């Protein structure tokens, strides 16, 4: 595994380097300045960034100081080595030692999103995360115009540069960030103070980003024929701010320009530890009479109170009154000696930004400024300017969370969802009566309120006991719209569109609400699943659906009948696949339809194939995979004869031309988070397949970013959430960055009609669940696994004829063991420490399961009978999920064992626990887990059950899911089938372990180990 | 640049001044030295005298750092200017200070409105302060050379000589930087004035200032704590200002121009580009 780190170089750039757990921990070099023994070399480092645009510059080697013992640098906390192969701990004095490391310097755009970068077998260190956050901050600073132009260098090497304008609140943020600068970021310049290191990095990034945004722009006007030296220098400097940074200047002019700019930049700095704070209070906050509507005739008076605030401790606030009377100055004396003068200077400075303050300054001891509503509005609009300039500003809460003036649509659809589900004529084309109202948020406005709004002269109006900001022009436009088209009839589908696209250009105001009392209302409120009658699958369907699955089927069928795309987002283990297969069986019961395309991860193809065959034998299923898969016309023709076509994401992309020519009845995405990146080729391709209906299945609609939800929803119902950019502005930024609960509620409402998500922790669902939830997880082999498997089989068959007795038994047992290792991972059989990622079907499936479990906050036990396999997985899974992975094997000491169990059981402890079946199968209490995965099989149900019971040990938990991994078409599946079919016999023969295998005849053995063609998907 | 004419006065042309390191250098390198209305008011008196040549030389002296020191005290500005002789010349610029009675009246008037002190403390000399003096029948800015008494230890008999001119220019610049200097020259230092105003406001002596606590030294990274990252600071997303170029207005005016246009205005389009796509 690899850990990617970041540091600030001596010239202020941010560079990346990496540790590689597969390299030796210790240097053999005797040189004083040696190469870091396990730093990734320059070529491999560049390879990590191969996909990134722009491609980062390879740097020279850097010298860094790292804590070390002798010839061994410390591993960073993120680096995890295979515990079974790692050497003994290093000895010697613990001290900082210099090492040479190769580095690359990525562009700031790459840096700011580095946490999202695909690192198949790597993770990002805390130091680089910190710098990525700084890169994002630099981008925000530039976007907000918080940059100042300046000069670097001397006369001979003059260059223009943009610098961060770190004033006011940003200066405070800078100090806080500098205090949190991780030491590894300073490894190349440990002698410099943290503030200098961070400042250099921020300025460098800001300069780069600013120049990117200014590319091609010219700030300097044309220069006259004989410019004065001053003009020539100013011109050269302005030009250098957008072009090549270097410029020529004569010594005198350079000095003058540099001096003026330095003074200018410094003029924004606030060095005082206290500042003025302005608090706006609306009339009713201090004047009870203003609450009285009778008193409305009088012009309400607002108060802007002056206070002094400690910058570091904003809760320390002293009123101007106390400052003048020196009553409470002791509090402030901790920060400042002469608070009166500070208050005066601050008021003087603020009066430059908000001119009306001058009025208050006409008094000898000003404590507040009285404002009328007009003036209050003016102040509110200046508030952010004052805030940026470093003043404290306290505004009424309603200003920060404005209530939006908008239009509310009320429609009256007829009938219930159940009726509509059966009668297609009553669907989206049916006409419904509607009425528009002006509304504040969700509340419709009365005639009187509308009049008050229309007559308001100031954009601040008091309505229903709260102040709201309204633009008179918008009110007028809204009223005109109501007069023009306040009511009438529209198609039900139109109502849905209004709900989805509240900002349509044909409306003068955004839509703040859509309400309906009929079936449309149920759909819009996201409660339609509860209104529908549960649906039974058609006769011939062999699985029994649980109650919540029958409700899910009804919901899918309802949206299907309306042609609305659906996202079924039930928790993992609740049976999304079986609900979808039931829908297909139901839909195809009456009349034939074009085929449905199911796109799923490679590791799920077998599951789809097996479950469709088992539950709905009437469906014709085609698996489109393998190197000898059909192409061209033959493919088109064959597809036409099938109901379900199952393929993988990678093949859907590869064969997109052929698959895109077919008119599908439905396109289904299983594990739809695979298209979470809407810009990826895979994601673009599957969107383009023509289909009457689309369904996305996923247990984790949002893994990391809200944009993933956009991508999935936009697949199911193209355009439903608007463009990705408007989605970002409307939802992603407010919800992710500002924690805007209002926006989150709006998004839930908007997606409600199309998303059905049931949680396994939901009491209603738990009652529906079986006591023990156990399922076989069917996995496929990769091509590499298949060829290795074949080689092991061939080798055994070649030798078995000539062997007998002990030798034969030994050969059979060794072969069985090897085959099981191949099914686990090629690297386990080869034992060569080769790459882990992307070579095993089981591993791919395990990663999917872990991803979902971790996203739900669940804990997972993984059992294997091979300690070596567990050891291999520890570094890989730590990197893949950027988390700690516990491991318990035969060599674990008693103390370490108890420690691991205790930590796993604690709520905040590690969430993944790998155990070797022998060491961890008995005697432990691991009830914190609600998932158990058996990575390989012991063929002894009793042993497996014993291990499973680690998680079930106490209490009757119904939410524990047990998965047994089985590779399709291999001996694993065949032995599993034997056990299932002859359970009684099997328990007899299998009870003693695997020895019974050695008693099989050669032809039985051949039958058992032969690889069937469906085993591999590639 | 044209060479200033040297008036012939029967002496050999003056020798070049001795360059000195560490002199006070005028920060303005071209054009006008005084940037604000209140320092212009002072320089105008000097320039109204119409002695282009010596003023130009004085300006060059000021920029070249020939003024070694400059001290403003009640009614008197003293300075040392390095000329062509090894011994620097002593310059003195005197103005009549206001008397104690006048200052009492002035202080009472200034204490009457917070505006005066507020603007002065914020680095501005508001026109309202000049009006206060006018209303009291006092003239704050000397409006002719007669109100200024100057002398210099150099052999030049013209007043002001280039050494005095250089000192005057630097004096004007110090007015730009600290408008309290004008009042100090007239008899009230910044500290005294603020003290008096505070007394008039509160009628109580101010509490003594406490000494600053020494800042705790930043811990150096060591081998033990190296890989232990401190907790990240809580990040509050910055609110974008209403206008993309708000920062340009928040800072003090930038006294630079290009071809008659203010540099600030030439920079504004860049800030439009920074904002770019609202979504971005």
Do the chains contact at B247 and A147, CB–CB below 8 Å?
A: yes
Integer Cα distance of A922 and A949 in angstroms? 9
Closest Cα in chain B, distance from residue A346 (Å): 7
Task: Give the pLDDT of residue B25.
Answer: 67
Task: Give the pLDDT of residue B225.
Answer: 82
Q: What percent of chain A has pLDDT over 90?
A: 30
Do the chains contact at B233 and A177, CB–CB below 8 Å?
A: yes
Residues of B in contact with A228 (CB under 8 A): 30
Q: Specify the pTM.
A: 0.65
Mean pLDDT over B156-173 rounds to: 86
Task: Give the pLDDT of residue A270.
Answer: 58
Would you state the torsion angle of the CA atoms of residues A109, A115, A119, A120, taken in this order, to the nearest 10 degrees?
Answer: -140
Mutating which of A6, A139, A144 best tests the B interface, going by the most B Cβ atoms within 10 A? Answer: A144
Residues of A in contact with B209 (CB under 8 A): 337-338
Of B63, B121, B270, the CB nearest to A214: B270
Assess B224–A contact: CB distance below 8 Å, yes or no. yes
Which residues partner with A439 through β-bridges? A406, A444
Closest Cα in chain B, distance from residue A457 (Å): 22
Do the chains contact at B233 and A141, CB–CB below 8 Å?
A: no
Task: Give the pLDDT of residue B9.
Answer: 46
Which one-letter DSSP state was computed for residue A728? I
Does residue B12 register a pLDDT over 50? no
Residue A298's pLDDT band (boundaries 50, 70, 90)? low
Residue A913's pLDDT band (boundaries 50, 70, 90)? very high
Mutating which of B273, B276, B277, B278 best tests the A interface, going by the most A Cβ atoms within 10 A? Answer: B273
Tell me if A115 sits within 8 A of A129, measured CB to CB.
yes
Of B202, B204, B226, the CB nearest to A67: B226
Would you state the torsion angle of the CA atoms of residues B188, B192, B198, B199, taken in this order, to the nearest 10 degrees?
Answer: -100
Helices (H), ranges, A338-491: 339-353, 357-360, 373-388, 397-400, 417-422, 447-455, 472-485
Does residue B279 register a pLDDT over 60? no
Which one-letter DSSP state was computed for residue A351? H
Do the chains contact at A256 and B30, CB–CB below 8 Å?
A: yes
B positions 30-49 inside 8 Å of A (CB): 30-31
Residue range A551-606, pLDDT digits in tens: 999 999 988 888 889 999 998 888 899 999 999 999 998 788 999 999 998 888 88
Task: Give the pLDDT of residue B280.
Answer: 37
Of A183, A193, A347, the CB nearest to B225: A183
Q: Taking all residues of chain A, what is their mean pLDDT, rounded to a whole number?
A: 85
Mean pLDDT over A153-176 rounds to: 84
**Residue where the block lists tokens 């309290």:** B180
Do the chains contact at A220 and B266, CB–CB below 8 Å?
A: yes
Of A193, A252, A344, the CB nearest to B29: A252
Integer Cα distance of A547 and A553 in angstroms? 10
Q: Which of A221-225, A443-447, B5-9, B88-92 has the weakest average pLDDT?
A: B5-9
Q: A79 or A760: which carries more pLDDT confidence?
A: A79
Integer Cα distance of A945 and A849 in angstroms? 20
Closest Cα in chain A, distance from residue B239 (Å): 7
B positions 14-33 inside 8 Å of A (CB): 27-31
Q: In what order do the strands lie in the sheet with A885-888?
A: A773-779, A961-967, A931-934, A860-864, A912-916, A885-888
Does residue A57 register a pLDDT over 80? no
3-class SS of residue A965 = strand
Of B122, B226, B239, the CB nearest to A349: B122
Most confident of the following: A595-609, A955-969, B55-69: A595-609
Mean pLDDT over B199-215 rounds to: 52
Task: Give the pLDDT of residue A935.
Answer: 93
Do the chains contact at A235 and B258, CB–CB below 8 Å?
A: yes
Task: Give the pLDDT of residue A982.
Answer: 59
Task: With CA atoms as reference, report the closest residue to A867 among A80, A86, A84.
Answer: A84
Integer Cα distance of B215 and A452 in angstroms? 58
Task: Give the pLDDT of residue A328.
Answer: 61
Number of A/B CB contacts below 8 angstroms equals 270
Closest Cα in chain A, distance from residue B148 (Å): 30
Do the chains contact at B251 and A267, CB–CB below 8 Å?
A: yes
Do the chains contact at B251 and A268, CB–CB below 8 Å?
A: yes
What SS3 string covers A295-325?
Answer: HHHCCCCEEEEEEEEECCCCCCEEEHHHHHH
Tell me if A97 sits within 8 A of A56, measured CB to CB.
no
Mutating which of A128, A130, A132, A145 best tests the B interface, going by the most B Cβ atoms within 10 A? Answer: A145
B positions 255-274 inside 8 Å of A (CB): 255-259, 261, 263, 266-267, 269-271, 273-274
Residue A785's pLDDT band (boundaries 50, 70, 90)? very high
3-class SS of residue A647 = strand
DSSP B117-176: HHHHHTT---HHHHHHHHHTT--SS--SGGG-EEEESSS--SSS-HHHHHHHHHHHHHHH
Do the chains contact at B263 and A234, CB–CB below 8 Å?
A: yes
* Prediction ipTM score: 0.73
Residue A489's pLDDT band (boundaries 50, 70, 90)? confident
Residues 6+ apart with CB under 8 A from A634: none
Residue range A860-905, pLDDT digits in tens: 999 998 999 999 999 999 999 989 999 999 888 888 888 998 999 8
DSSP A223-266: P-SS--HHHHHHHHHHHHHHS-SB----HHHHHHHHHHHHHHHH
Does residue A822 register a pLDDT over 60? yes
Do the chains contact at B29 and A230, CB–CB below 8 Å?
A: yes
Task: Give the pLDDT of residue B7.
Answer: 44
Task: With CA atoms as reference, report the closest residue to B76 among B181, B208, B4, B227.
Answer: B181
Which one-letter DSSP state was computed for residue A148? E
Residues of B in contact with A219 (CB under 8 A): 266-267, 269-270
Task: With CA atoms as reference, report the closest residue to A309 among A366, A387, A381.
Answer: A387
Integer Cα distance of A677 and B84 in angstroms? 75
3-class SS of residue A140 = helix
Closest Cα in chain B, distance from residue A796 (Å): 51
B positions 97-136 inside 8 Å of A (CB): 111-115, 117-124
Do the chains contact at B236 and A77, CB–CB below 8 Å?
A: no
Integer Cα distance of A613 and A467 in angstroms? 64
Of B117, B204, B233, the CB nearest to A326: B204
Of B113, B225, B252, the CB nearest to A267: B252
Mean pLDDT over A688-698 rounds to: 93
Task: Give the pLDDT of residue B3.
Answer: 44
Does residue A721 register a pLDDT over 90? no
Residue range A364-377, pLDDT digits in tens: 999 999 998 889 98
Q: B241 or A680: which carries more pLDDT confidence?
A: A680
Task: Give the pLDDT of residue B215.
Answer: 47
Do the chains contact at A358 and B113, CB–CB below 8 Å?
A: no
Integer Cα distance of A916 and A931 in angstroms? 16
Mean pLDDT over A290-300 rounds to: 57
Does residue A724 register a pLDDT over 90? no
Closest Cα in chain A, distance from residue B231 (Å): 6
Task: Give the pLDDT of residue B218.
Answer: 60
Does residue A790 register a pLDDT over 90? yes
Of A140, A220, A725, the CB nearest to B238: A140
Residues of A in contact with B245 (CB under 8 A): 145
Residues of B in contact with A735 (CB under 8 A): none
Mean pLDDT over A722-746 rounds to: 83
Does residue A992 register a pLDDT over 70? no
């Amino acid at each position: 595994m690899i850990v990617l780190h970041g540091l600030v170089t001596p010239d202020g750039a941010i560079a990346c380097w990496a540790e590689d757990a597969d390299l030796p921990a210790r240097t053999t070099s005797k040189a004083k300045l040696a190469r870091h023994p396990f730093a990734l070399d320059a070529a491999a480092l560049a390879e990590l960034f191969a996909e990134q645009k722009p491609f980062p510059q390879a740097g020279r080697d850097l010298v860094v100081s790292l804590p070390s013992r002798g010839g061994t640098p410390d591993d960073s906390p993120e680096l995890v080595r295979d515990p079974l192969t790692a050497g003994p701990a290093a000895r010697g004095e613990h001290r900082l030692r210099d090492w040479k490391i190769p580095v690359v310097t990525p562009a700031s755009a790459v840096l700011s999103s580095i946490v999202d970068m695909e690192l198949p077998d790597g993770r990002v260190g805390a130091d680089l995360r910190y710098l990525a956050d700084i890169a994002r901050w630099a981008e925000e600073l530039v976007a907000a115009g918080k940059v100042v132009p300046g000069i670097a260098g001397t006369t001979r090497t003059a260059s223009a540069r943009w610098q961060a304008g770190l004033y006011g609140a940003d200066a405070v943020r800078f100090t806080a960030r500098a205090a949190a600068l991780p030491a590894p970021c300073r490894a190349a310049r440990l002698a410099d103070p943290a503030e200098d290191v961070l400042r250099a990095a921020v300025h460098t990034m800001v300069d780069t980003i600013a120049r990117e945004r200014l590319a091609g722009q010219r700030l300097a006007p044309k220069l006259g024929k004989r410019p004065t030296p001053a003009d020539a220098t100013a011109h050269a400097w302005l030009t250098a701010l957008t072009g090549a940074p270097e410029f020529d200047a004569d010594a005198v002019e350079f000095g003058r320009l540099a001096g003026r700019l330095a003074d200018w930049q410094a003029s924004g700095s606030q060095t005082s530890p206290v500042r003025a704070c302005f608090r706006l209070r609306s009339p009713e906050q201090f004047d009870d009479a203003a609450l009285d509507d009778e008193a409305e005739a009088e012009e309400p008076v607002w108060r802007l109170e002056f206070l002094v605030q400690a910058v570091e401790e904003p809760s320390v606030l002293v009123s101007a009154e106390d400052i003048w009377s020196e009553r409470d100055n002791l509090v402030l004396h901790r920060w400042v000696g002469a608070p009166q003068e500070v208050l005066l200077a601050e008021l003087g400075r603020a009066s430059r930004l908000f001119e009306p303050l001058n009025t208050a300054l006409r008094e000898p001891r000003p404590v507040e400024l009285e404002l009328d509503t007009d003036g209050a509005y003016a102040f509110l609009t200046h508030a952010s300017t004052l805030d940026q300039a470093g003043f404290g500003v306290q505004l009424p809460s309603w200003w920060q969370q404005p209530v939006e003036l908008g239009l509310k649509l009320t429609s009256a659809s007829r009938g219930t969802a159940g009726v509509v589900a059966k009668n297609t004529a009553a669907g989206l084309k049916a006409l419904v009566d509607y009425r528009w109202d002006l509304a504040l948020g969700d509340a419709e406005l009365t005639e009187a309120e509308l009049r008050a709004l229309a007559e308001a002269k100031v954009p601040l109006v008091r309505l229903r006991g709260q102040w709201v900001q309204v633009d008179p022009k918008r009110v007028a436009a809204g009223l005109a719209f109501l007069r023009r088209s306040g009511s009438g009839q529209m198609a039900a589908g139109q109502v849905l569109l209004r709900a989805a696209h509240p900002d349509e250009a044909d409306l003068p105001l955004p839509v703040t609400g859509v309400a309906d009392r009929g079936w449309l209302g149920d759909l819009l409120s996201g409660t339609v699943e509860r209104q529908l009658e549960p649906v039974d699958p058609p006769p011939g369907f062999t699985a029994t659906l649980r109650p919540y699955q029958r409700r899910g089927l009804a919901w899918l069928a309802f949206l299907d009948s309306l042609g609305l795309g659906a996202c079924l987002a039930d928790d993992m283990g609740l049976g999304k696949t079986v609900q979808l297969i039931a829908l297909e069986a139901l839909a195809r019961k009456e009349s034939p339809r074009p085929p449905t395309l199911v796109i799923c991860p490679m590791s799920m193809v077998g599951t789809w194939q097996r479950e469709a065959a088992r539950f709905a034998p009437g469906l014709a299923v085609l698996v489109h995979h393998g190197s000898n898969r059909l192409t061209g016309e033959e493919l088109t023709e064959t597809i036409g004869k099938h109901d379900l076509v199952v393929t993988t994401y990678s093949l859907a992309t590869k064969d997109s031309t052929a698959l895109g020519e077919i008119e599908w009845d439905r396109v289904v995405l299983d594990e739809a988070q695979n298209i979470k990146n809407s810009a990826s080729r895979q994601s673009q391709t599957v969107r383009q397949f023509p289909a009457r209906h689309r369904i996305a299945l996923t247990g984790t609609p949002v893994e990391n970013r809200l944009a993933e939800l956009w991508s999935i929803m936009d697949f199911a119902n193209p355009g439903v959430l608007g463009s990705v950019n408007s989605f970002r502005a409307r939802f992603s930024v407010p919800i992710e960055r500002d924690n805007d609960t209002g926006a989150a509620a709006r998004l839930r409402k908007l997606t409600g009609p199309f998303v059905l998500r049931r949680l396994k922790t939901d009491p209603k669902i738990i009652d529906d669940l079986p006591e023990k939830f156990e399922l076989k997880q069917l996995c496929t082999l990769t091509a590499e696994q298949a060829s290795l498997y074949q080689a092991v089989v061939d080798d055994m068959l070649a030798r078995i004829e000539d062997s007998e007795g002990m030798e034969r038994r030994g050969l059979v047992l060794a072969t069985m063991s090897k085959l099981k290792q191949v099914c686990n991972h090629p690297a386990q059989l080869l034992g060569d420490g080769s790459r882990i990622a992307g070579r095993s079907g089981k591993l791919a499936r395990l990663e999917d399961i872990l991803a979902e479990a971790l996203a739900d906050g669940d804990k997972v036990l993984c059992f294997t009978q091979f300690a070596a396999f567990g050891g291999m997985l520890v570094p890989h899974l730590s990197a893949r999920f950027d988390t700690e992975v516990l491991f318990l094997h035969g060599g674990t000491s008693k103390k370490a064992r108890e420690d691991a169990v205790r930590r796993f059981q604690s709520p905040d402890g590690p969430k993944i626990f790998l155990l070797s079946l022998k060491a961890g199968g008995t005697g432990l209490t691991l009830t914190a887990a609600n998932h158990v995965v058996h990575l390989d099989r012991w063929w002894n149900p009793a042993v497996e059950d014993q291990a499973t019971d680690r998680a079930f040990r106490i209490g009757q938990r119904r939410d524990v899911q047990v998965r047994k991994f089985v590779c399709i078409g291999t001996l694993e599946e065949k032995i599993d089938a034997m056990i299932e079919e002859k359970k009684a016999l099997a328990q007899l023969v299998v009870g003693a372990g695997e020895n019974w295998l050695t008693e099989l005849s050669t032809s039985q053995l051949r039958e058992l180990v032969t690889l069937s063609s469906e085993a591999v998907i590639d | 640049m044209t060479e200033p004419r040297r008036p012939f006065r029967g002496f050999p042309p003056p020798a070049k001044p001795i360059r000195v390191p560490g002199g006070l250098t005028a920060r303005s390198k071209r054009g006008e030295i005084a940037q604000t209305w209140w320092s212009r008011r002072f320089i105008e008196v000097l320039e109204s005298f119409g002695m282009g040549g010596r003023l130009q030389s004085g300006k060059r002296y000021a920029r070249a750092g020939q003024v070694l020191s400059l001290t403003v005290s009640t009614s008197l500005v003293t300075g040392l200017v390095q000329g062509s002789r090894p011994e620097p010349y002593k310059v003195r610029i005197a103005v009549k200070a206001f008397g104690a009675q006048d200052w009492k009246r002035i202080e009472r008037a200034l204490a009457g409105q917070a505006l005066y002190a507020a603007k002065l403390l914020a680095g501005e000399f508001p026109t309202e302060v000049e009006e206060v003096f006018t209303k009291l029948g006092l003239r704050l800015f000397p409006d002719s050379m007669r109100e200024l008494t100057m002398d210099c230890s150099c052999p030049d008999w013209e007043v002001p000589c280039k050494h005095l001119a250089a000192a005057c220019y630097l004096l004007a610049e110090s007015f730009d930087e600290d408008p309290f200097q004008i009042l100090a020259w007239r008899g009230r230092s910044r500290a005294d004035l603020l003290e008096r105003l505070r007394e008039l406001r509160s009628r109580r002596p101010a509490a003594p200032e406490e000494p600053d606590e020494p800042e705790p030294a930043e811990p150096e990274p060591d081998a033990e704590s190296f890989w232990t990252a401190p907790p990240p600071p809580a990040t509050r997303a910055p609110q974008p200002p209403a206008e993309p170029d708000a920062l340009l207005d928040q800072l003090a005016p930038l006294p630079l121009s290009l071809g008659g246009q203010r540099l600030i205005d030439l920079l504004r389009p860049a800030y439009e580009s920074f904002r770019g796509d609202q979504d971005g």
